[in-house]
Amino acid sequence: MSDQRFIDGVGEVRLTEGVVRMDLLSMSPTQRDEDGNPAPQFVEQLVMSPRAFMRVVSALSQTLKGMEEKGLINRGGADTENNASNENTSEPEAKVAASSPNF
């Protein structure tokens, strides 16, 4: 079995000395933010060439497009109430269809 790591998101992505470094984050089981929610914490770093990074971005874009086409997520601007509530956030929220009792 291969080594797998679950992540909740990506932190900083930077190009340093010709190498792309991407910080992977997970929600802390013990640390909380000022609102009492689990705080993101660094768990691992992906390091890759710029060409490999472009392949990752392309693969993720294709996956995202496929999820939209299947109706699993909605990144469109049709829901104005959702857009207004996310107006103060720095990253767009994707609506995910409930397909699991865990979500």
pLDDT in tens, 36-76: 999 999 999 999 999 999 999 999 999 999 999 999 999 87
**Torsion sign across C-alpha atoms 69, 24, 35, 31:** positive
| CB of 46 closer than 8 Å to CB of 25 | no
Q: What are phi and psi of 16, to 5 degrees?
A: -130, 120
Model pTM above 0.85 = no
